[in-house]
Amino acid sequence: MNTLHSSPVPTSRYTDEHRVHMMHPVVCEEAPKLAQARCSSCSLRKVCLPADLSSDELERIDALVCATRPVRRGETLFRAHDAFHSLYAVRTGSFKTSVMHRDGCEQVTGFHIPGDPLGLDGISSGSQSCEAVALEDSTVCVIPFSQLEAICGESRRMQRHLYHLMSAEIVRESGLMMLLGKMTAEQRLASFLLDLAARFRLRGYSGASFNLKMSRDEIGGFLGIKLETVSRMFSRFQREGFVQTQGRQIQILDAERLAQV
């Protein structure tokens, strides 16, 4: 971190550039660190890896995923057009992915929680097609793709798992298209909350009570509805007894009725 000298800066040299640099310091990305835990003993293993891996295959995966990278809230893991070298798995925290339209408007394309992969879109073209930003202080496991390919060439289980991840991404994007094209605003928000709850349950967390790390504006950007509409729908769901909200804390009170919206 840069520090200011104790002696004052002469007025003649105290330009707007100095002011901007002091108000907006450059944030350096932290380098990957040696992983503290092995994939074979990670609590997210059942989400990230096939269940039937042999001990030899697990050893190879442990050697492959040998680094984690911290990403602070608001920092970028990768940007659109960055060269593709690695896949990432969210270890702690959460991320949003987004693309920028020609008019400068952001379209949120997904929210990613522990166990989710990041960077799959880079496989086809060799460069990332979206931006991934941390919604809170987070860490990711770094998975060098060239080494993963080598393992998949020798392990049919890992090969099938990689195909499964890519297929799931296609299904997710198809679901998003249906969400944006066919559902009402109420149905979009209800589906979003129920999907998030199901993903938390799969990871061993509560699916009935959880914190939304994304803002309501970001939820609207994902669902294709305005911030005011998101707030109005939350108020309606609470009024009708579907959910209880307190800030970003969400408690689903009646999942069946929420699914019938």
Q: How much is the pLDDT for 53?
A: 87
Tokens of 34: 């040696």
Q: How far apart are CA 234 and CA 105, in angstroms?
A: 24
The 10 Å CB-count burial string (b at 16+, else e) for 110-132 is bbbbbbbbbbbbbeeeeebbbbb
**For residue 115, what pLDDT is reported?**
93
Spatial distance between the Cα atoms of 105 and 187, rounded to a whole number of angstroms? 24
DSSP state of 210: E
pLDDT for 32? 59
- The pLDDT assigned to 38 comes to 79
User: How are strands ordered across the β-sheet holding 86-92?
Assistant: 33-34, 67-71, 138-144, 86-92, 117-118
Helix 55-64 / helix 156-182 crossing angle, nearest 10 deg: 60
pTM of the complete model: 0.81
- pLDDT of 250 reads 95
Give me the tens of pLDDT residue by residue for the chain, a chain 261 residues long. Answer: 333 333 333 333 334 433 333 333 333 345 556 556 678 888 888 888 888 888 888 888 888 887 899 999 999 999 999 999 999 999 999 999 999 888 878 899 999 999 999 999 999 899 999 999 999 999 999 999 999 999 999 999 999 999 999 998 888 888 888 878 888 999 999 999 999 999 999 998 999 999 999 999 999 999 999 999 999 999 999 999 999 999 899 999 999 999 999
Q: What local confidence, expressed as pLDDT, does residue 31 receive?
A: 56
What is the structure's pLDDT at 6?
35
